[in-house]
Each structure stands twice: as structure tokens, then as C-alpha cells.
Amino acid sequence: MLGLLGVKTLILTNAAGGINLSFKPGTLMVIDDHINLMGTNPLVGANDERFGPRFPDMTEAYSRRLREVADAAATATGVAVAHGVYAALHGPSYETPAEIRYLRTIGADAVGMSTAPETIVARHMSMEVLGISCITNPAAGVLPTPLVHDEVMEVAGRVRAEFSALLEAIIARL
């Protein structure tokens, strides 16, 4: 729908679990790439050429230009950002410690239940995409304690102002 309305640039945000051991709750991670482990692709089925090619290139799923804009906005606002690879899994359950070890082994820095399908569809329609994850918790097995959804929500609330300032600075630069 956004593509049909003429949107050319899309900023996607999400809450994610931190796989990278240097990411603490509240880290904002600019997504450099993703690993789609959702078990499907939103482009499966008949292709309508009006929306894009049958096999869209995903070499730069997350625009290098927009990632540079995000870095400049972060510097200007004093908001620290990290960069990393986002792994998308189907959910709705959190991942197991074994799955997190697997994801770390294949190069994922963060994990969540969204963003990859939206990015794939946006790129299919030639939109430029920027993705930013708020690392709301260490992923399962990183700490010896279970994941609690209320703690995820608390961290998201705690960094809301910082995240908003970053997004406003990015949008101002576009």
C-alpha cells in the first residue's frame, strides 16, 4: 500500500533481543542486513510486475545512504548507535538458548519477529529502507534468567525519548 501511495523511503523500527554480547538493553542498532528465518518469503506466489521484478535484488536491503544518514543523525544528537545483523524468526514465542547460539554462529547480532518481510516487500517495490532495532533484552540464554515481556516493555519505554530524537534527526536530514 505504501508503495502504491508513492512512498520512496521507509524507516522500520522494532524491539529485538540482543545476541551480540556487547549489546545492553537500550542499545539502538542500525540494521546493516538481515537473515530471514521466518520459514517463508512474502513474495511467494504469482508476481505482479507492477509492484516489482520476480526476483528483486537484496544486496542492499538496508540502504547504505540511509544508514549513513542515521549515523550522522546519531552523532548530531549524541545518541549512540550500534550496527548489526537482524535475524527474523516467526514467533510468537521467544527463542530458545540453543536457537540463540545457532543465530550467533551464523552472524546475527539481534533477533526479533518482524522487519524482514516488510523490508523484502519494500525492496520489491524499489523503496529505500532503513531499519533500527531497540535492543530491549538479552536474548534467551545470554543471562541465566528467563525473559519477561514486562521488562522488554519497560526498556522500550525508558529509551523512547532517545529513540524519538534519533528518528526526528534522521527525518530532518531526509
95 catalytic per annotation = yes
| pLDDT tens digits, one per residue of 14-67 | 999 999 999 999 999 999 999 999 999 999 999 999 899 999 999 999 999 999
Q: Strands, E, within 21-63: which ranges?
A: 28-37
Question: Which of 3.40.50.170, 3.30.565.10, 3.40.50.920, 3.40.50.1580 would CATH assign to domain 9-36+62-173?
Answer: 3.40.50.1580
pTM for the full predicted model: 0.95
The pLDDT assigned to 151 comes to 86
Domain boundaries, the chain: 9-36+62-173
State in Å, rounded, how far the first CA of the chain is from the last one: 21
Q: What percent of the chain has pLDDT over 90?
A: 86
State yes or no: pLDDT of 71 exceeds 90: yes
Coil vs helix vs strand at 54 = coil
| pLDDT tens digits, one per residue of 112-171 | 999 999 999 999 999 999 999 999 999 988 888 888 888 888 998 999 999 999 999 999
User: Is there a cis peptide before residue 56, judged by omega within 30 degrees of 0?
Assistant: no
Q: Which of 60, 68, 95, 168 is catalytic?
A: 95
The pLDDT assigned to 146 comes to 84
